[in-house]
Amino acid sequence: MENKIASSTTVTTRLLMHLSNTRVGLGVLLILCGLSLAGHAYRGYLQPILNPDSEGYIQFQWDLSDKGFNGLRTPGYPLFLQTIMATFGLDAIPTAHAIAYFGAVIAFHFALLGIGYRPLSALAVSVPLALGVNLSYLGTHVLTDSLALSVSIMAMAAFTWTLRKPTNTWSWLTLAFLTFVTYQVRPAYLFLLVLWPLMGVWVAFFFEPRFGFAKRCFHRLLAYSAVSVIPFFSYTILRGLVTGYFGLVAFGGYNIIGIAIQFLDPPTIAQLPEEVKPLATAIVNRIAELNLKVDISSYNTMEPNYPAYVYQVSVPEARKIYGDNIRKTNAAFNKLSLAVFKIHPKLYLRWIVGNLFHGIGDQVLLTFRNIGTILVFAIIGMVIFCSLLNPLGFQGALTQLDLRSSDSQPTDSITQSDYNPQSSLIGHSAFSEFQYLFWLSTWYSAGKTGLVVLVEPSVGRYMAPASVLWPCVIALAAMHFANSLLASRSSSSLRA
């Protein structure tokens, strides 16, 4: 029995030592991505599913019509779709989603290594990311969600790389380009325009010397704001000059109207501006004709009817007034919604709070359903179990895990005056590894969730991207805990 225990511990020790090698870790990640792709193909997740919104992307017109640049869609995803369909056909879309996603995971893996993550730590982050719910939950649908998530992860990798090489022009241009592409694929990622300046200052506060802090924060804020805002305003201004409509896309009103019309009643209509009263009256009459239940007592009673309020009520009634003019319809929806919220701010706040809690709950469920999270916990549990039986057998693995490269910070402190952030932002510090990923996940999730809860229900389709990094945070924390426990037990055994 003791021989079996020693043998299993030796195997696990050697496994940890091998995984602590950068090339081995990358190889494992590539194999895992390949197996995941094969598994999705076997389970039928690489067969495209068409949704009602898919037609708008497939039939996108490259002109100034309401089915083109004046319409409801940004051109990013239609360009991707038409390129893949022209080359490989519609059936290849889910596979293209998968390849884009795995490419994003590998890019993020390299970015973490670039700022000083230990190979095993980077692998602990990348495994849950590669095995996340994206492909099975989002990737099969011919919609923007999967591709936008992939490009946003690539943008996070580019942001991380600007911290590694702040004087490299290409890293900044890459960040600007990927950020632009992300919200061109899906406008709901406009929060990235705020995320990069925020994270830039946040990193300067937590990870860099206090000397010259104010000047460095100002430069960071200016640089990240420039790469975020300049492409956005360049595009919207150009679009305004060409189409006569300033903005990214004429769609915001179509989202928010499904919330606002639930608060409409005759007294409210009487207080509305004259220009939106006809639309509000027509909507209320249509709700009565369809006998739709309007119950605003809680978020749970408001959310279920949201799609019907938008597509069965608001859009048909607006079409009777504004015809097929999408820009006028979107503007009218915006004006009506803002006017209603101004009259009923408490009801709108009730929606936001309920929507927020619902979204957070969905994120928690999606995080712990992640196969990668379960796998990492299983591996770490096995390591801890073996260490309890034979802690001395892990001494070599712990030594290998804690090895530091010659150009990294020799201690866990990264605030000392001689620390050079261009050499290694993290400095192979377990605490700093966790801290960077935690704050990136926090602000990314907050931005994605916050933008959703204001204008539409926080359903799983939108919360899956918001929760994408939380399994990685949990896995990294679990790995650090296991490492600390093993080190403690090994030290105790040696002293004994």
- pLDDT for the residue numbered 389: 66
pLDDT tens digits along 329-382:
988 999 999 999 999 999 999 999 999 999 999 999 888 887 777 777 787 777
Does 415 reside within a domain?
A: no
Mean pLDDT to the nearest integer, 433-452: 94
- Residue identified by tokens 């305004």 is 240
pLDDT tens digits along 39-65:
888 888 889 999 888 998 998 988 887
Pick left, alpha or beta for residue 449 (phi over 0 → left; psi -120 to 50 → alpha; otherwise beta): alpha
Asked if 211 and 315 sit in the same domain, the reply is no
- Which of 311, 343, 375 delimits the end of a domain? 343
Q: How many Cα atoms occupy the beta-carbon half-sphere of 261 within 13 Å?
A: 37
Q: How distant is the alpha carbon of residue 296 from its chain centre?
A: 30
Q: In total, how many domains does the chain have?
A: 2
Tell me the three-class secondary structure of the chain, residue by residue. Answer: CHHHHHHHHHHHHHHHHHHCCHHHHHHHHHHHHHHHHHHHHHCCCCCCECCCCHHHHHCCCCCCCCCCCCCCCCCHHHHHHHHHHHHCCHHHHHHHHHHHHHHHHHHHHHHHHHCCCCHHHHHHHHHHHHCCCHHHHHHCECCCHHHHHHHHHHHHHHHHHHHHCCCCHHHHHHHHHHHHHHHHHCHHHHHHHHHHHHHHHHHHHHHCCCCCHHHHHHHHHHHHHHHHHHHHHHHHHHHHHHHCCCCCCCCHHHHHHHHHHHHCCHHHHHHCCHHHHHHHHHHHHHHHHHCCCCCCCCHHHHHHHHHHHHHHHHHHHHHHHHCCCHHHHHHHHHHHHHHHHHHCHHHHHHHHHHHHHHHHHHHHHHHHCCHHHHHHHHHHHHHHHHHHHCHHHHHHHHHHHCCCCCCCCCCCCCCCCCCCCCCCCCCCCHHHHHHHHHHHHHHHHHHHHHHHHCCCCCCHHHHHHHCCCHHHHHHHHHHHHHHHHHHHHHHHHHHC
- pLDDT for the residue numbered 496: 54
pLDDT tens digits along 255-268:
899 999 999 988 99
User: CA separation (Å) from 485 to 144, 213, 240?
Assistant: 43, 36, 59
Asked if 61 and 141 sit in the same domain, the reply is yes
The pTM score is 0.88
Least confident residue range of 71-75, 89-93, 240-244: 240-244
Asked if 94 and 221 sit in the same domain, the reply is yes
Question: Which is higher by pLDDT, 455 or 385?
Answer: 455
Does 416 reside within a domain?
A: no
- Which of 302, 317, 343 delimits the end of a domain? 343
Structure tokens at 108: 């993020």
Cα angle 36, 42, 47; round to 5: 95
Task: Give residues with Cβ within 8 angstroms of 130, minimum separation 6.
Answer: 29, 32, 33, 36, 102, 105, 372
Asked if 313 and 390 sit in the same domain, the reply is no
Asked if 388 and 240 sit in the same domain, the reply is yes
- The one-letter amino acid at 420: N
Percent of the chain with pLDDT over 90: 48
Does the pLDDT of residue 291 top 70, yes or no? Answer: yes
- pLDDT for the residue numbered 63: 84
- pLDDT for the residue numbered 459: 87
Does 414 reside within a domain?
A: no
Find out whether 333 and 250 touch, Cβ atoms under 8 Å.
no
Strand partners, 49: 141
- Residue identified by tokens 């003791």 is 2
Confidence of residue 23 (pLDDT cuts 50, 70, 90): confident
Asked if 256 and 238 sit in the same domain, the reply is no
Find out whether 119 and 113 touch, Cβ atoms under 8 Å.
yes
- Rounded Cα–Cα distance for residues 90 and 82 (Å): 9
Does 411 reside within a domain?
A: no
Least confident residue range of 114-128, 207-221, 403-417: 403-417
- pLDDT for the residue numbered 17: 66
- pLDDT for the residue numbered 165: 82
Pick left, alpha or beta for residue 323 (phi over 0 → left; psi -120 to 50 → alpha; otherwise beta): left
Cβ-based neighbour number of residue 97 at 10 Å:
29
- pLDDT for the residue numbered 67: 78
Confidence of residue 132 (pLDDT cuts 50, 70, 90): confident
- Rounded Cα–Cα distance for residues 387 and 473 (Å): 24
- Rounded Cα–Cα distance for residues 247 and 233 (Å): 9
Asked if 169 and 267 sit in the same domain, the reply is no
Does the pLDDT of residue 409 top 60, yes or no? Answer: no
Does 132 reside within a domain?
A: yes
- Which of 343, 371, 395 delimits the end of a domain? 343
- pLDDT for the residue numbered 405: 39
- Rounded Cα–Cα distance for residues 198 and 489 (Å): 40
Pick left, alpha or beta for residue 427 (phi over 0 → left; psi -120 to 50 → alpha; otherwise beta): left
Asked if 398 and 428 sit in the same domain, the reply is yes
Mean pLDDT to the nearest integer, 18-39: 85
Asked if 232 and 278 sit in the same domain, the reply is no
- pLDDT for the residue numbered 404: 42
Cα angle 217, 119, 477; round to 5: 70
Confidence of residue 429 (pLDDT cuts 50, 70, 90): confident
- pLDDT for the residue numbered 422: 42
Does the pLDDT of residue 423 top 70, yes or no? Answer: no
Does 352 reside within a domain?
A: no
Find out whether 234 and 277 touch, Cβ atoms under 8 Å.
no
pLDDT tens digits along 186-229:
999 999 999 999 999 888 887 777 677 788 888 889 999 999 99
Does the pLDDT of residue 418 top 60, yes or no? Answer: no
Q: How distant is the alpha carbon of residue 71 from its chain centre?
A: 25
Does 412 reside within a domain?
A: no
Does 234 reside within a domain?
A: yes
- pLDDT for the residue numbered 419: 31
- pLDDT for the residue numbered 410: 35
- Rounded Cα–Cα distance for residues 345 and 296 (Å): 13
User: CA separation (Å) from 236 to 257, 271, 333?
Assistant: 23, 34, 21
Domain region containing 300:
252-343
- Rounded Cα–Cα distance for residues 491 and 496 (Å): 9
Asked if 197 and 272 sit in the same domain, the reply is no
User: CA separation (Å) from 74 to 146, 249, 313?
Assistant: 15, 6, 24
- pLDDT for the residue numbered 369: 80
- pLDDT for the residue numbered 219: 86
Asked if 220 and 260 sit in the same domain, the reply is no
pLDDT tens digits along 222-252:
999 999 999 999 999 988 888 777 888 877 8
Does the pLDDT of residue 9 top 60, yes or no? Answer: no
- pLDDT for the residue numbered 15: 63
Q: What is the mean pLDDT of the chain?
A: 83
Does the pLDDT of residue 395 top 60, yes or no? Answer: no
Mean pLDDT to the nearest integer, 30-37: 91
Asked if 310 and 427 sit in the same domain, the reply is no
- pLDDT for the residue numbered 11: 56
Least confident residue range of 107-121, 126-140, 158-172, 414-428: 414-428
